[in-house]
Chain A
């Protein structure tokens, strides 16, 4: 963890952080304030246009106020750029920032969950990118370097990733990853380092493409999802109202609602467009986005749970969605909608693609073959046909759902706690459920409505198996 970064003699010209000395202090790119203020400028611009369209009077004063706000944001950005600097030293990224309230942030690289390179729309035009470090702690903030030139950001990310798996850092091994760990080689050139292999993947190839979403299918999938259905209903209702009353003005009060829904659909499409998953030496590389692109590396052994969702309409087409839960806080700022969802490795894909990805993520996974006892039909008539579970010494899998089928795989070494629950109806029927919790708020594996004795047996065995899995993973 305390590997000094490979630094040559200090260069006389301002060093480029990508390939040069990263141990000294650096500034961000001078155009960063524009990007940061750009977000506000865009928002204000949109609001301004909306205002101008809706009421053409009184726009003058608003314009002045908006200009003042944008100017202040820009000035604040410039000051913030002047007082912000960063370095990588002692196995940690340090960021110093703040004019009045000086802040010195330190992000230990050994605790980094993932390093993302994010490009917002404006940053893309200017060729800049933001680096985000996602940390393990639940409530700690992300480390953000906004912005660097794209090429430098990519290089820096490679180097930081190489340092996160430097000797001394806890081996983030999942399953047999320990066998593939060669800590000594990690300090070698980034990208080609034979660091940690994704389970079942030990090639030295820099990347191997696993999945790429088809744009047409993504559009169709979103249109056929709940979001799409809601959007279609609302738009149809608004059109109907406008047509029936004969005056388009009647729908004006509902315009913000319609706008919000269209925005939600757009966000999902924008966020998941071009989703591209590749296996590399340092984990799964995930890229996505249409206007704003995100690149993320999910390190092996950081996956807390894998979830396969098959909504009703999608099942007719043989489509499904594959999501992973990764420890650490979600990125909230830009993608508010994204914050509530898991990371979709496959936003829309065929079952065969999902099978392949599952094979990549989990080695020798069990399938939810054990059906619930027939009397569970009385307690859960709508979801009975999807209830099932199975487990071995590495994973527990459980499936459930009424209309949409959800199958969750939890690696046993990620298990945080096990709960046995029995409600009054279940007691009458001699049933019980077992819930398997993993870190975070989003995923709980639920083995629902089993025979009471079987549930008791699962509760008795799971903690011991989880302990063995943890011990195995630590070695």
Chain B
């Protein structure tokens, strides 16, 4: 191996088989609704504005172009939703996300300061919630969106218990 780091001792290494778990499939629905809530008014507004300023044909063209952009965005959404994953390992939580910029974060349970579960209106209507872990570092970013409400509550309790058991001082 090329890394200059020594090998961690026995019993402390990362779990070899990272069993990635995924958010609920309804997250894609939620993201589609959220995208639609932006695109549809934008297409209508843009179309009407172009129609009043130019000709009705221009208005239709602008509206259709915006709808097409929304559909292209939708293709991207599916990949982004599929990229989310999290794994509960023995000592830490791993979260991965991103398509264009891929990120993987490792947050030791002992470093979690608090955990919050939030749900926006769209998420709530689909029975979903977002779990977010906070450490003392502002740069740590660990959130898992689109978890089933029951899974989110269970994950929160589990993480809280693990965090308490392994808590470490600053």
Contact = CB atoms under 8 A, between A and B. Distances in A.
B37 interface: no
Contact of A417 (B2, B6, B8, B140): B140
Contacts of B9: 464, 468
Interface in B80-109: 91-92, 100-108
B101 A421 contact: yes
A290 interface: no
Interface string B1-36: 111111111001110000000000000000000000
B140 A392 contact: no
Q: How large is the interface on A (under 10, 10 to 19, 20 to 34, 35 or more residues)?
A: 35 or more
A53 to B, nearest CB: 44
Contacts of A437: 135, 137, 139-140
Given A327-B170, A470-B110, A463 B139 contact: no
B101 A467 contact: no
B165 to A, nearest CB: 13
Contacts, number: 132
A151 B1 CA distance: 58
A416 B2 contact: no
A441 B5 CA distance: 26
Chain B CB within 10 A, most for which of A170, A414, A427, A463:
A463
B102 A421 contact: yes
A460 B140 contact: no
A435 B142 CA distance: 14
Interface centre among B5, B107, B169 (most CB of A within 10 A): B5
Interface in A108-152: 136, 138
Contact of A392 (B2, B5, B12, B136): B5
A141 B6 CA distance: 40
B138 interface: yes
B136 A440 contact: yes
Given A451-B2, A463-B14, A465-B6, A419 B136 contact: no
A454 B3 contact: yes
Contacts of A468: 8-9, 12
Interface centre among B12, B101, B139 (most CB of A within 10 A): B139
Interface of B: 1-9, 12-14, 91-92, 100-108, 110-111, 135-142, 168-170
16 contacts: A391-B5, A416-B111, A419-B103, A422-B101, A423-B100, A424-B100, A438-B137, A454-B2, A461-B8, A463-B14, A463-B108, A465-B5, A467-B108, A470-B168, A474-B168, A474-B169
User: 6 closest pairs, A vs B, by CB?
Assistant: A464-B8, A439-B136, A437-B137, A416-B137, A417-B140, A420-B104
Given A391-B5, A393-B6, A415-B111, 11 more contacts: A390-B4, A392-B5, A417-B107, A427-B102, A437-B135, A439-B137, A440-B136, A461-B6, A463-B14, A463-B92, A466-B108
